[in-house]
Amino acid sequence: MVERWILRAFLGPTAGGRPSRPESSPLRGKVALRVGLAFSAVAAVGASAGVAAPAAAATHAPPVQACDASRSTEWEALATASACDQPVVIDSSRTEYAQVTAQPDGRLRYESAVEPQRTRRADGSWADVDLTLRVGADGLIRPAASVADVAFSGGGEDPMVELRRGGKSMQLSWPELLPAPTISGDSATYVDVFPGADLVLRATRTGFTHVVVLKTEQAAANPAARAITLERDGDAAITRLPNGALQATVDEITFARAEPAVMWDSSLAEVMDTEVRPWLMRSDAVAAGDGARTARVKTEVTPDGDLRLVPDAELLDSDTATFPIFVDPAWSVARSKWAYGTSNNCTNTDYSVARVGLSPEGPCVGVRFRSYFEFPTTNGKVSLKKKFIYDAYVQMSLYHSWSCDDTRANLYLTPAINATMKASYSSMKLNSHLAAASGHANKGRGCSDSPQPDMPMNFDTEALRIQVQKAADNSANSITFGFSARDSDGTDEGAENRWKKFTPGKAKLVVDYDSKPGKPTGLQVSQVACLSSGAVSIGTLTPTFSAVYPDADSGQTLTGTYEWIEVPAGGMGSVTDTSPARRPPPNRPAATAGGRATTTQVSVAKDRTYAFRVRTTDPKPYNQTSSWSAWCQFKVDTTRPPVSVSVVNPASGPGTAVTFLITSSHSDVTQFKYGWTGPTTVVAASGSPKSATVTLTVPTYGQNTLFVAAVDVTLNEGSGSHDIFVERPSPAVAHWGLETYPGQSQAQALQDKQPALSADTPLVASNVTWLDGSRLVGGQTASFNGTSSQAVTAQPAVNTAGSFSLAAWVKVDSYPDCANLAVLSADGPTSSGFILEYDCWADRFRMRVADKDGGNLVEAAAPTPSITRRWTHVAGVWDETDRKVKLYIDGLLVASVTPPSTWLASRGAGYAVTGGLVVGRARWSSSNYAFFRGEIADVQVFDRVLVEQDFTGAVRDEEASGGVDEPGFLTPILVGRWDFGVARPCYLQDLPDTCDAMDGTGFNRWLALRRGAEIGAGNRDNGLHLDGYYFPEENPEPWEPTREWGKTAYKNGVSVDGDGSERTIWADTPVLRTDQSFSVSVWVNLTRTDVNQMIVLQDGVIASGFYLYYSTDGGVWRFKMLNSSATPDNGSGASFANAPAPDATDSWHHLVAVLDAGRRQMRLYVDGDLKNTSTLAAAWQPWQANGPLAVGRSFDDRWDPLHGAIDDLGAYQGAMTDAQVRTLYESEVVEGEEL
């Protein structure tokens, strides 16, 4: 790799050798363990959620030649790692849970954890989590670097603890003034908060714990110990959940939560074999020890909103209890990425360690423990999706073992965690044995070297690597491993000496990966760009070949392999991988990923046609090879004149003008040809040297290639080309919504959404009414009466002397008489300067542009009739540079017209309309006419030409995209969102304040849940779990069967049933207009794949308006649309879009179903990628399903219930583009949650 050698030479020799594998580097000491009251605050990746102690002083960016531990980009990190012979972290890859490190040998190493490893400082830099407490200038005590912004009291009147997130806070205060604490590491101890009782506050990786330590019987007998009330203050409110857990929320968003409260004593009881073991661990304020007696602590929320803890009186009064006794619940904010399971469903509330094996300690003596770790394989910045996995292992830190010597632990593949902190032992099956490792770290006093230090245990096998590769191939977003004492043959899980405790905060998945090279692009022969079809002409007998080498690993250097042939008489259609014989290859040039490489010269013969292609290979040790590029054909004719092209005036973006200068050194050149897809447009050559200047509109996003040719007097034609790269597209200069919905009033619907770009041009409406539910369920759209309705700006919205574009959603009403209906126009002194309208007589839309006030109108009209009473997106374009009028219908270019020369001469340098923009009418000869009849919404005006990608968007991995996801200018409206963060399980049907999931939008459509529906572990936080049984983890077998699902409804108060109990009154409501374009997004994790399972649908009268489900027919995700409201769901009369679902039970997957009604397309996306595009059946016609949106059941709840979980359900009115889907996926796949 050239850049590495350059940097190494610049730096000179470095000291020190290359670091060994991670397993040879022992992990450091015991980390903080979470127990007691633990608030955790994990924010979304990219947010400034963490808090770190300020750096000693601000510094400038380090010089390039420094051997820094981190670098901003992958290229810099790889170069520094090689030059300095040390691992270097890629700063741009970092999140709280994951990062990528460049290795000295060129490898890229991805590490992910289940607890935060680092936090972002206020200045944007990252700091490793450091829980050492420090006293600040304000007297408060804070950890040096924690993901949570937490502060402990320094004593006195300060709140006991304050937790801050997103500008909001929660404070808990001790009932009395606190003494000054003693600080030790991560803990602050307040001695004798009442006689014989200490308070211990401790910082954790995600927040804090607080534990009351009752040191004596007298302290336990004190009334202050029998009910501990903590005054709550700040923005967060605390709620007690049915199972005793606590949830703190701000504006119905989870702020922090606590598992059911617990207390423990200091007993070191007799255990399984009745012998007291001297090496058993003892209780402390961090965790319950081996043999400790535990009990639940009752939690209450007082009428004032304070938190009251009521310890178990039986344990406090027990004659056999051993003091000290420790009291408080354990808290968590974001969903934990690890969990435990027990063989008899016994509950353990100490989450400071992950237990594996046969427990010797209470409350689960003699019970088998397993622990499960769900490692992210993507973090929103870096993903293992589709990567080549060179190596993979799991690194664990053993904190304690029963044995003084090595014993085994085993690693298995399991399903995704279904509940935290206690997962279902029976559901979390040990599917595949992948690895085993041995270790010991006894912390008791019975070994010769007790207490033994923590021991790293690495689970590193080829089977594990293969499983991670499978997860990458299937685009899994996480991979879950279960740790058990059970060997691969099913034995020894009950062996007492295999009991172990691991530190969750030190668990890591470590993966060396490589991005497979992309197919080479941008092929050129002797600097002339290749055509997509046909051959370019070159005038040299010693050409060179070149290409761009795409690769997502931007710091790597790739090597190209080129092969070339003489095109046979049968043409390229007769070429195979072995025939005709390949010519002697040129050298194998290298280039950094994304760069261009050029070969040495090859020798060719005159008047013959050749072709070449190229593929690339990654550096060692990966050696991954791309697929072959397309063939590039070229003709050789040395008599052809040379031609070159350069940019005179660059473009500001797609849809704007660029000016080129085309030149040739041959004096007999008479003309040039040019074009974006090939040289087709002719311009005369003049001057000396021969030249021509041409101005064109840039047609696409990102990179554009202009093809040119020079033609001499004997018609010899020489080829050339020039690449340009344009900046991101400019937005609309004016934008009016013209529709209302929660948070958007009628007045706001008339305001310009882009006031800074067009001098703020609000619409003034006359005789406009607002129609309910036409485009949005629960919204209103501007309606025009066909006789007097209009909405006008006071000044021009765009300069019509240059290029401009107009766009709007339009619904034409049927009416008895025929008249033109103007959607948009602009008032000139007497007449409209342009009109975007519906032509009633021709039954089609058209764009008309005037050459001058009252002059001639040139039009581009749709070639086919339009459908009335159906929402249609219409866009009109005037391209001043290319001199064309264009019309787009539903994002498709349907007409492009060049005006007559007389019209162009009359228009001259452009016609600037001086009046305002008009919605709903036109003007001619000083009279208003063509008043629109129907509805208009989402009006946008651009000061440039709209191009195809403005409608479709573009994704960053498309050829010549520039590496940026562009969403397009049409934005679907979010009309429903259920993230289940504050959802409530359903124990008793319709019981008020239960059985529901709140809508995160202002439409306030709840998801009403059926009895048995459970709230458990979701993709990021909580999710909705449906398993067909009534809370099996809380009840003994046999379990009661249930019909579990949810549907959208409004809450209409409560009623009283015959037993005198209150019940919520639900009123069903649809969410989507299924007769228009829509998108549905949901995260899914199944527990079964042997039956069909309905995920989400919206009910009609006899069937559903759409279905998104899992089908056993090939094991696929399936999106289905029926042809009409009268079509039965019997297997016929339907259109489908399918996508493979290879590991539906192993990981959460993101599904997006899109109906693009205008294009008559169904699209299905999985984990951010488009998997299937299907054309709707010819018989399909738009129809509205007016029933509720439902999850987890079929249309009539007779079949196909869901067995699994869903999360982050979103409904959007409008068709999402590829880039919008990817952006949504990447925003929801990340760990944590932002307040």
Instruction: Look up residue 722 and give its two tokens.
Output: 């020039």
pLDDT surpasses 80 at 389? yes
Report the pLDDT value the prediction gives residue 334, as an integer from 0 to 100. Answer: 61
Q: What angle do CA 314, 320, 322 make, to 5 degrees?
A: 95
> Cβ(637)–Cβ(539) under 8 Å?
yes
CA distance 1117 to 1152: 10
Token representation of residue 333: 């904010």
Q: What is the end-to-end Cα distance of the chain in Å, rounded?
A: 44
Between 222 and 868, name the one with better pLDDT.
222
Could you give the 3-state DSSP secondary structure of residue 465?
A: helix
Phi, psi for 840 (deg, rounded to 5): -65, -45
Query: CB of 948 within 8 A of CB of 767?
Result: no
Lowest-pLDDT range of 289-293, 925-929, 970-974: 289-293
Cα R_g (the chain), whole angstroms: 35
pLDDT digits (tens, 9 = 90+) for 764-815: 999 999 999 999 999 999 999 999 999 999 999 999 999 999 999 999 998 7
* CA–CA gap between residue 563 and residue 558 (Å, rounded): 16
Q: Which residues contact 723 (CB under 8 A, 6 or more apart)?
A: 522, 529, 703, 704, 705, 706
Q: How does pLDDT run across 192-208, given as a tens digit for each residue?
A: 999 999 999 999 888 88
Beta-carbon contacts of 187 under 8 Å, excluding residues fewer than 6 positions away, are 133, 200, 201, 202, 203, 285
User: Peptide bond before 116: cis, by omega within 30 degrees of 0?
Assistant: no
> Which residue has tokens 């501007």?
782
- Summarised one tens digit per residue, pLDDT across range 1105-1157 is 999 999 999 999 999 999 999 999 987 899 999 999 998 998 999 999 999 99
Burial class for 155, CB neighbours closer than 10 Å (0-12, 13-18, 19+): middle
- Residue whose pair of structure tokens reads 């790799």 in the numeric block: 1
**SS3 of 665, please?**
coil
Which of 162-166, 432-436, 1049-1053, 1093-1097 shows the lowest per-residue confidence on average (mean pLDDT)? Answer: 162-166
935 within 8 A of 646, measured Cβ to Cβ: no
Q: So what's the pLDDT on residue 957?
A: 77
What's the whole-model pTM score? 0.89
Strands ordered across the beta sheet of 557-566: 535-538, 632-636, 609-617, 557-566, 590-592
Say if residue 490 is exposed, middle or buried (CB neighbours under 10 Å; 0-12, 13-18, 19+).
exposed
Q: Report the alpha-carbon distance of residue 1056 to residue 1058 in Å, rounded.
A: 7
| Nearest C-alpha neighbor of 40 from the set 283, 250, 259 | 259
1209: how many CB neighbours lie within 10 A of its CB?
A: 26
The CB-side HSE value for 848 (13 A sphere, CA atoms) comes to: 27
**CA distances (Å), 1137 to each of 565, 1062, 1118, 1121, in order?**
41, 44, 6, 9
- Residue 865 has phi, psi (to 5 degrees) of -60, 150
* Span 359-376, average pLDDT: 91
Rounded to whole angstroms, the Cα distance separating 693 from 696 reads 10
Asked whether the beta carbons of 251 and 330 are under 8 A apart, the reply is no
C-beta separation of 246 from 253 below 8 A:
no
Q: Across all residues in the chain, what is the average pLDDT? A: 90
Higher local confidence (pLDDT), 962 or 1047? 1047
In this prediction, residue 959 carries a pLDDT of 74
- Residue 880: pLDDT over 80: yes
In order of 267, 288, 439, the CA distances from 442 in angstroms are 19, 16, 10
The answer to which of 132-146, 270-284, 1004-1018 has the lowest mean pLDDT is 270-284
Least confident of 49-58, 465-474, 709-718: 49-58
Model confidence at 50: pLDDT above 50: no
Ramachandran angles phi, psi of 77, nearest 5°: -65, -45
For 485, counting Cβ atoms within 10 Å of its Cβ (0-12 exposed, 13-18 middle, 19+ buried), the class is: buried
Among 229-238, 326-335, 825-834, 1078-1087, the range scoring the smallest mean pLDDT is 326-335
Q: Which tokens is 1172 given?
A: 């299937």
Whether 561 shows a pLDDT value over 80: the answer reads yes
Q: Locate 404 and state its tokens.
A: 């003084």
Query: What pLDDT is attached to residue 1036?
Result: 85
Q: For the chain, what percent of residues have pLDDT higher than 70?
A: 93
User: Which residue in 353, 344, 227 sits closest to 288, CA to CA?
Assistant: 353
The full set of domains in the chain, from first to last, is: 130-332 (no CATH), 338-514 (no CATH), 517-638 (2.60.40.10), 639-728 (2.60.40.10), 734-946 (2.60.120.200), 973-1228 (2.60.120.200)
pLDDT at 285: 82
Nearest to 100 by CA among 125, 72, 122, 130: 72
Write the DSSP string, 164-211: EETTEEEEEE-SSPBPPPEEETTEEEEEEEETTEEEEEEEETTEEEEE
Label residue 6 by pLDDT band (50, 70, 90): very low
Q: Is pLDDT of 32 > 60?
A: no
Residue ranges with strand state E in 599-702: 609-617, 632-636, 644-649, 657-664, 669-675, 681-684, 690-697
Half-sphere exposure of 211 (CA within 13 A, CB side): 30
pLDDT digits (tens, 9 = 90+) for 905-959: 999 999 999 999 999 999 999 999 999 999 999 999 999 999 999 999 988 877 7
pLDDT of residue 316: 96
pLDDT digits (tens, 9 = 90+) for 532-551: 999 999 999 999 999 999 99
Q: For position 349, what pLDDT does the model report?
A: 77
Q: pLDDT tens-digit profile of 295-354?
A: 889 999 999 999 999 999 999 999 999 999 998 776 666 678 999 999 998 888 788 899
Give the DSSP letter string of 1042-1056.
Answer: ----EEEEEEEEEEE
**How is residue 81 written in tokens?**
């790692």
pLDDT number for residue 330? 64
Q: What pLDDT score does 887 carry?
A: 99
Contact 1202, 1095 (CB under 8 A): yes
Buried b (16+ CB within 10 A) or exposed e, 306-322: bbebbbbeebbebeebb
Q: Minimal CA–CA distance to 652: which of 951, 940, 943?
A: 943
- Rounded Cα gap, residues 292 and 448, in angstroms: 25
DSSP string computed for 491-528: --TT-GGG-EEE-GGG-EEEEEEEPPPPPPEEEEETTE
Residues 721/708, Cβ–Cβ less than 8 Å: yes
pLDDT of residue 42: 33
Confidence of residue 279 (pLDDT cuts 50, 70, 90): low
Per DSSP, 741 falls in state B
Residues 6+ positions from 165 with CB-CB distance below 8 Å: 41, 43, 49, 148, 149, 255, 1235
Please give the pLDDT value at position 281: 72
**pLDDT tens, 210-253?**
899 999 999 999 999 999 999 999 999 999 988 788 899 998 88
